[in-house]
Structure 1
Amino acid sequence: MTIRRLAITDVRNLATVSLEPSPDINIFYGKNGSGKTSILESIYLLGMARSFRSSKLKPVIRNSSQSCTVFGEISQEARSIPVGVTRTLEGDYQIRIAGETVNNVSSLASILPIQVINPDTFRLLEGSPKERRQFIDWGVFHVEHRFLPLWQRLQKCLRQRNTLLRHGKIDCYQLDIWDQELVTVAKQVDDLRSEYIERLLPVFEQVMAKFSNVPGLKVSYYRGWDKDLCLSEILRKNRERDINSGYTHAGPQRADLKVRLERMNAAEILSRGQQKMVVSALKLAQGLLFSEISNRPCTYLVDDLPSELDAEHRQLLCDTLESMHCQVFVTSVEREGLAHQWNEKTQVKMFHVEHGAVSCSD
């Protein structure tokens, strides 16, 4: 899948931008604050109907505007699919795919699977388990169609159980029903996550071996409860604790991806450059596995690629992205920082960004 045409209206300082990207590598260069990252943000809006930079819409929508819109023509299996997303200040959204209005973001994500590598990607190591669960669930969602309804069922179950826990006078009969439902759906969600991580880790190790030798680095999956106990038993033991706190302590909502070095959290030991290589390797491994399973590439958004990488590792990252035969959108302050790091056969387009205006500079 590649974006053949992109039109952006009122995203941050981008009033009206229209461009035809390369199916391979697209480099946006310009001064800080010129709008480079906003272009990547717009592409993310097209694939996810939200920003990767802010949970609030007001800073995303251009000053004095009430809404922002991103339109793209996406090439998929020899056909072109028009896709459009509009977000308003009130939080409403409209999604249109191939001329039809759709009401779920999952349809967008299926058409345009996106991976982001940016300074915030460090949160994959440094941040809360929620960041790493989202990483896992991105992969499972894109390779296993059964996952989304199971994940939705899990969220409903947790909401109902936590509401009962906070109710005051506990209805033990109702709580038993939701405990049984949680145990059932937890096993299915955990099985899919476990299977996915089992397939991902060898790919990650292969990518990481190209980037950097970090002896003792280990990545493991934690399902959210003691591996030696069944969840039903833990829920019984934890019931009083859950009632006192008003939420469910154990279950797949507590799952995590542990990245350790010498039995310690890797983020506490690795340098910033090493951390960037680890998180980049995880993101690239996801894309490689997705392509292997689905026979489709995903789209990579790489913000400020040269940051915190020396020349050797920067070249390795470019080589890997190039070898994946996927569409890549990269930002850099300097044109020369990335202009000459690609194979001659690769179609590279350079775009200069200045004060929210974008021009092709090939």
Structure 2
Amino acid sequence: MPLARLDISHLRNLTAVRFDPSPHVNIIVGENGSGKTSILEAIHLLSFGRSFRSHKHKTYIQYEQPECVVFAQLEQDQQPRIPVGIKRSRDGAIEVRIQGRAAQSVVELAERLPVQLINPDAFRLLEGSPKIRRQFVDWGVFHFDDRFINAWRDWQKALKQRNSLLRRGKISANLLAAFDQELIRLGEYVNTARKAYVAALTPHFESVLQQLAAGLSVQLNFFQGWDAQKTLSEAIEHSYQRDIDVGYTNTGPQRADLRVKTPSGDALDTLSRGQQKLVVSALKIAQGQLLIERGRQLVFLVDDLPAELDANHRRRLCQLLESLNSQIFITSVGPDSMDFTWSDQTDVRHFSMNQGELSQASKGLQES
């Protein structure tokens, strides 16, 4: 569901911002520190319940303010708009409201407002820990498989319980085996769902990458977290003594990874910085394609589009984004770097950001 209205209060230098975005393309131009990235941060907070710039909520709540609030109205076809909001307090409390009622968790927001972020930090998808790539896969599975989130949560609980027992030191094999049954059942479901998702994602990724960078050969390989020749039950049984010795579970879906490789080796080691950004962008756009294919809508946040990409690749990226018919928010330091000509059928709105104040360009300036 696209955002039809966005209100932001007391988030970084955004004291009170009212935003009526286009359902298609929104280009926000401003100097560094003007607050343009904070607009994207607010949308991300509304979807994920957390910032993509900091894990510490106090860093984005405006100084000397008790809380920040992000409110939005979501557009739906031929139906009344859906009001949603999130309030993050300085003491750490989170309040989520949907259509006037208190939501049980931010998961309800994530279901209604899927958001994809493409920004300079997206390189972490390649250079970061396997946890970051698992989160990327799990975001996709969450929107791909309705039962995944509950199975994933229950598996996490079972894993924590097992690790707690292992840390106690002396524990019988029979007692541990009783916990392992549920851990294995849930872990196998999580693994099967992840593998199915990566299999569905791969052809989309390969197609998008060829449109962005023809001739660039990159493969996705999913490592499930244990020897593919063994069942999860066999792998855990084989790792029993080692788990006892170190005090935690060594094998299972918590060790899964999405490995991105070229014919010469890991993508991180063999591709240029610009090529890496194209690969990451292809992964994000492919996720969007797969979601749209299943009848969902999503919002793309593209922060600092010109960074690392030349004019040719910027145009290709914008062309792909436009073809998805999704709502897009793009930030840029200067209008001269936005050299892509959008279709006449695309509603493109230009905004200027200056010291936390957002203003929309006049129609004549937008078309010039």
Q: Report the TM range for the smaller structure's normalisation.
A: over 0.9
- Alpha-carbon offset, residue 77 of structure 1: 3.3
Give the match for residue 39 of structure 2.
39
Runs of 4+ in 1 over 2 A off after TM superposition: 76-79, 171-174, 213-216
Which stretch has the larger CA shift, 1-10 or 260-269?
A: 260-269
Quick one: distance in 2 between partners of 1:172 and 1:4?
57
- What residue identity is the alignment partner of 1:70? V
Give the match for residue 356 of structure 2.
356
- Alpha-carbon offset, residue 303 of structure 1: 0.3
**Contact 2:46/2:86 (<8 A) preserved:** yes
Give the match for residue 345 of structure 1.
345
Percent identical pairs in the alignment equals 48
Deviations 1:87-132 (A, max 9, x none): 0111101000001101211100010000000011111111110111
Give the match for residue 20 of structure 1.
20
- What residue identity is the alignment partner of 1:31? E
Give the match for residue 51 of structure 1.
51
Give the match for residue 224 of structure 2.
223
Quick one: distance in 1 between partners of 2:78 and 2:55?
35
Give the match for residue 78 of structure 1.
78
Give the match for residue 243 of structure 1.
244
Which structure 2 residues correspond to residues 205-216 of structure 1 after superposition, within 5 A?
205-216=206-217
- What residue identity is the alignment partner of 1:183? I
**Contact 1:302/1:331 (<8 A) preserved:** yes
Give the match for residue 189 of structure 1.
190
Which stretch has the larger CA shift, 255-264 or 245-254?
A: 255-264
- Alpha-carbon offset, residue 244 of structure 1: 1.7
- Alpha-carbon offset, residue 192 of structure 1: 0.9
Tell me the matched-pair count.
361
- Alpha-carbon offset, residue 286 of structure 1: 0.2
Quick one: distance in 1 between partners of 2:104 and 2:53?
23
Give the match for residue 324 of structure 1.
324
**Contact 2:209/2:216 (<8 A) preserved:** no
**Contact 2:222/2:257 (<8 A) preserved:** yes
Q: How does the TM-score come out when normalised to structure 2?
A: 0.96
Quick one: distance in 1 between partners of 2:140 and 2:340?
32
Quick one: distance in 2 between partners of 1:241 and 1:152?
25
- Alpha-carbon offset, residue 34 of structure 1: 0.4
Give the match for residue 271 of structure 1.
272
Give the match for residue 63 of structure 1.
63
Quick one: distance in 2 between partners of 1:83 and 1:132?
29
The alpha-carbon distance between structure 1 residues 37 and 130, as it changes in their structure 2 partners (threshold 3 A), is: same
Give the match for residue 235 of structure 2.
234
Deviations 1:149-191 (A, max 9, x none): 1001110110000000001221433210121212111111111
Quick one: distance in 1 between partners of 2:120 and 2:86?
25
Which stretch has the larger CA shift, 72-81 or 276-285?
A: 72-81
Quick one: distance in 2 between partners of 1:341 and 1:243?
61
Give the match for residue 92 of structure 2.
91
Quick one: distance in 1 between partners of 2:8 and 2:269?
40
SS at match of 2:51: coil
- What residue identity is the alignment partner of 2:287? Q
Quick one: distance in 2 between partners of 1:242 and 1:200?
34
Give the match for residue 291 of structure 2.
290
- What residue identity is the alignment partner of 1:315? R
- Alpha-carbon offset, residue 214 of structure 1: 4.6
**Contact 1:297/1:324 (<8 A) preserved:** no
Quick one: distance in 2 between partners of 1:174 and 1:9?
52
* Structure 1 vs Structure 2 CA RMSD: 1.1
Listed as ranges, the gaps of 5+ residues in structure 1 are none
**Contact 1:318/1:341 (<8 A) preserved:** no
- Alpha-carbon offset, residue 271 of structure 1: 0.5
SS at match of 2:337: coil
**Contact 1:210/1:316 (<8 A) preserved:** yes
- What residue identity is the alignment partner of 2:148? F
The alpha-carbon distance between structure 1 residues 175 and 217, as it changes in their structure 2 partners (threshold 3 A), is: same
**Contact 2:184/2:233 (<8 A) preserved:** yes
Give the match for residue 304 of structure 1.
304
Q: How does the TM-score come out when normalised to structure 1?
A: 0.97
**Contact 2:315/2:340 (<8 A) preserved:** no
Give the match for residue 126 of structure 2.
125
